[in-house]
Amino acid sequence: MIRHKVFETADLPLEVVILLIAGMMMLIAGILLFPVHAGVLPFYENGLYGLLLFIFALQTILLGRTPFGDLRRSRLLLAAGTIVAALGIVTCFVPDLPNRIPRMTLFFCFAPGGFLLLLQMFLSEDKFSAWLRYGGIFRHLILGCTAVYVLSMFIGLLILQHGLPTRPLTAVMVLLSGAAIVYLAVVLRKIYRAYPEAEQKGGGDGELPSDKTMMLVTGIFMLLLGVLLIPVSLGLLPFSGSAQLGLLMVIFSVQMLASGNTPIGPFPRSWLMILFGLLFAALGIVSSIIPEILVAPLTLLIGLLNITNGLITLWKVSRTCLPLLKKGEEPRAPLPPILFKLYAVQATMGVLALLFGTSMLVSHLLPALVVGVVLAANGGVLLFLLYILMELDRMQRAPENAPIAV
C-alpha cells in the first residue's frame, strides 16, 4: 500500500520553519488589524510585540541569525537571545507594562536591522553578486530578501511612531511583510533542497541541538509564568491569560515543526505533524493578539494535553524503573546516580504536568498562588532535566566511558 503524502517525512529546515511562523504571524496580524480598525475586535498590542520579540530570539539562539546579521553561535549569543525571549514573554504576560523598551527593541530589530541586512546583502561578495551569477532560483532569493528587509524598515518606523496604529495602511504593510517572509521561506526551502550544503548548520561553543534549545526556552517560559503568577494571585500585577495560552501554543508549534516533539511525546516529523504545528501556531497567534477570544478552547486543549503528557510520562518511568527495582536471583550493578536523577526528574515532571493540567480543567482546584509555584517548579525541573541530558551526552562522548542506555 502506498503511504499518503501527509505521512511522509517532511524536509523543512529549521530556518524555513521559523520563517513560516514569522510570516504566518504577520499575515494573521495584518488580517486582524482590519476588523480591529473597524472596532469589531479588541487588540492587544503587547501580545503582538511579545510574539515578535520571541521570534527574533528564536532565530538568534537556534540559528545564530540576528536582526543585524549572522553571528557565530556562542554562549554570549545564547545568553543575549535568551534575554530577548524573556523580554518577549514578560511583554506578552503583563498588559499594563510600559511597552517603551519592547517597542524600542523591535524598532532596532526592524528598521536599523533591516537596513544593515540589506546593505550586507549588496556589499557581500557571496550574496548579491554571487546570486546574480547563479541566476534561476537565486534571483527569487534576491527579490525575497529585498522585500523582507525594505518592509521591515517601514514597519520599524511605524512602531517607532506610535506603536502599531490600527490603520488600514498599517494592516496592508503588515500583510505585505508576512507575504514576503512566506515567499522567502518557500525560496529558501527550494534552494536547500537543490543545494543542501547551503543550509547553515550552526557551530560554536554555545551550540545546542534544536530540541534541547527548545527545552531551554520552554523551561524559561514556565519559570517566568510561575513567578509572575505569584504577584498576580496576590492582586499586585495584571495578567493576560489569553496571551499566556497563545505563546504556549506557539512554543508547542515550534517544537512540532522543528523536530516532531509534541506536548504528549515525540512523533515522526511528517507533513501531518507540520499541518498540526501550523494550526497550533495560528491559534496561538490569534489568542495573543485578540484578548479572550480563544481562552476557553485553548484552556481545555492545553489542560488535556498536560494531563495526557503527565500520565504518559509516569507510565514510561514506571515501566522503566519497576523492573530495575525487582529483586532477581543474580546480583545487579547499582543504578548510576545520574540515571536515578533522570528518572526522578521525569517522574516529578509527570506529577507537575498532571497538577497543572487538572488545575486548568477544574476551576479553583488549586489556589492561584499554588498554581504559580507548580509552574515555577515545572520550569526549574525542566531546566534541571536539560542539564542532566547534557551531562549524559558529555559522558557518552567521553572515550573512557561506556555508552549509557537511557
Mean pLDDT score, 362-383: 78
**Per-residue pLDDT tens for 170-206?**
889 999 999 999 999 999 999 988 877 666 554 444 4
Closest to 361 in 3D by CA, of 309, 298, 286: 298
pLDDT tens-place string over residues 342-358: 888 888 888 888 888 88
Report pTM: 0.85
Assign 3-state DSSP to the chain and report helix, strand, coil percentages, each to 5.
75, 0, 25
pLDDT over 70 at 45, yes or no:
yes
Query: Which residue is it, cell 506536548?
Result: 263
pLDDT at 138 over 80: yes
pLDDT: which is higher, 25 or 405: 25
Residue 253 near residue 22, CB atoms below 8 Å: no
In this structure, are residues 153 and 115 in contact, taking their beta carbons and an 8 Å threshold? yes
Nearest by Cα to 257 from 214, 199, 306: 214
Identity of residue 400: E
